[in-house]
Amino acid sequence: MIAQTKILDLNRQVDSKPVHECLLSNAIAKIKISSFGCTLQEFIINHPGFPKRDIVLGYDNWEDYKKLFDDGKSAFFGAIVGPIAGRISKASIPWKNDFFKFEANEGPNLLHGGKRNFSNVNWELVSSTDVPFPSVCFGINTKHEQIELPGELYCEVTYTLKEAQLEIKIESFAIEDTLSNPTQHSYFNPGGHPTSILDCTALIDASGELALNPDKTPTGEILKTQNSPLALHLKFKGLDNAYRAAKLKNQASLRANDGFELNFSTNQPFLQIYVGGESPLKGKNNMHYGAYSGICLEQQAAPDAPNHINFCDIYIPKGQSRTNTLIVEFKQCQ
């Protein structure tokens, strides 16, 4: 198969922009991305020696993603999350010798950017190419989309399908003094989206994890992990914590019981690990997604970073930029 990029206009508009569906493919993989939420809907791999599988949870139609957000029941399947991923305690951050107060959307806290966020708006198609690899880029402006944030931010996300890996690059450009900590929120399952995540092995090279309050916001303390790589206890329903990466690449891996493996590399200091995938709607191929259907590895700075002086800085001065990358490599386990 020739590597290619295909752009489909679905003849629908959301947020005054056309909804696009983008297909990137090569000899062993195909991904589908929706402009709504800049969402990774499919990641189908036909690797030699293994049955073909779709390794991300999702829905067949982009309208299902929108419906769940409209109903307040979304699990953020495959979406770009932001502009601030994770939780902000009391929905408040220090801002220019004062405080900026967001509209809370999870009890008293802010979760994944607020009620209107990167995940539930329609992104603009910026560019696409077949050379040197199939690739597509989407963009969004927080001010134009009425996304709550101190200072205007422009963000571009580029999905690039290389030979045996998917690269996701999230670039944040500060039009005014602002802050940004986005991530990609796919639920992965190396055995394929109809299987249980309990049938796989998950490892992470971590030097620490965040201590949490009862509402899952960080206390500010970073606890040392005992072993690295750390085997994650996937049977713990609701595993939802941030782990500090111990090295600069190949920080995590997921291995199916047939030996098919996914490796994850990021330039970000933390991976927020969440086990879940439960959905009130049927997923792709009429699948029911339960509590152990998939696992998120959300690459990002520490959640609630502005409220802890010992966490990394997510503020961006006017005219500067910041890039968050994730590389998902698929291979046969040795």
The answer on pLDDT for 334 being more than 60 is no
pLDDT of residue 56: 97
For residues 321 and 180, the answer to whether their CB atoms sit within 8 Å is no
For residues 252 and 203, the answer to whether their CB atoms sit within 8 Å is yes
How far apart, in whole angstroms, are the C-alpha atoms of residue 194 and residue 282?
11
pLDDT of residue 259: 92
CA proximity to 242, closest of 273, 218, 215, 287: 273
Compute the CA torsion angle 18, 2, 48, 59 (nearest 10 deg).
10
CA proximity to 22, closest of 230, 206, 166, 187: 166
Task: Give me the mean pLDDT over the 236-265 stretch.
Answer: 90
**3-state SS, residue 305:** helix
The answer on pLDDT for 331 being more than 80 is no
pLDDT band for position 163 (cuts 50, 70, 90): confident
pLDDT band for position 225 (cuts 50, 70, 90): confident
How far apart, in whole angstroms, are the C-alpha atoms of residue 176 and residue 234?
41
The answer on pLDDT for 235 being more than 70 is no
Structural domain tally of the chain? 1
Q: What is the mean pLDDT of the chain?
A: 93
Task: Dump pLDDT digits (tens) for 120-131.
Answer: 999 999 999 999
Q: For residue 284, give every residue at least 6 positions away whose Cβ sits within 8 Å of its Cβ, in sequence order, or none.
A: 41, 42, 54, 57, 58, 59, 60, 193
**CATH number for the domain harbouring residue 276:** 2.70.98.10
pLDDT band for position 238 (cuts 50, 70, 90): low
Task: Dump pLDDT digits (tens) for 93-108.
Answer: 999 999 999 999 999 9
pLDDT of residue 3: 83
Domain region containing 62 = 4-332
How far apart, in whole angstroms, are the C-alpha atoms of residue 129 and residue 147?
29
CA distances 274 to 234, 239, 244, Å, are: 9, 5, 14
Task: Give me the mean pLDDT over the 131-135 stretch.
Answer: 95
pLDDT of residue 2: 79
Task: Give me the mean pLDDT over the 168-189 stretch.
Answer: 97
Helix (H) or strand (E) segment spanning residue 87? strand 87-88
Backbone angles phi, psi at 284, to 5 degrees: -55, 145
Task: Give me the mean pLDDT over the 46-69 stretch.
Answer: 94
pLDDT band for position 229 (cuts 50, 70, 90): confident
For residues 33 and 21, the answer to whether their CB atoms sit within 8 Å is yes
17 CB burial (10 A radius; 0-12, 13-18, 19+): middle
Task: Dump pLDDT digits (tens) for 301-313.
Answer: 999 999 999 999 9
Q: Read out DSSP for 36-55?
A: BTTEEEEEEE--TTS--EE-
Number of helices (H), then strands (E), belonging to the chain: the values are 1, 28
pLDDT above 90 covers a percentage of the chain that reads 81
Task: Give me the mean pLDDT over the 77-106 stretch.
Answer: 96
How far apart, in whole angstroms, are the C-alpha atoms of residue 321 and residue 319?
7
Highest mean pLDDT among 49-53, 272-276, 320-324: 320-324
For residues 168 and 33, the answer to whether their CB atoms sit within 8 Å is no
DSSP summary character for residue 310: T
The answer on pLDDT for 333 being more than 90 is no
Residue type present at position 138: F
pLDDT band for position 332 (cuts 50, 70, 90): low
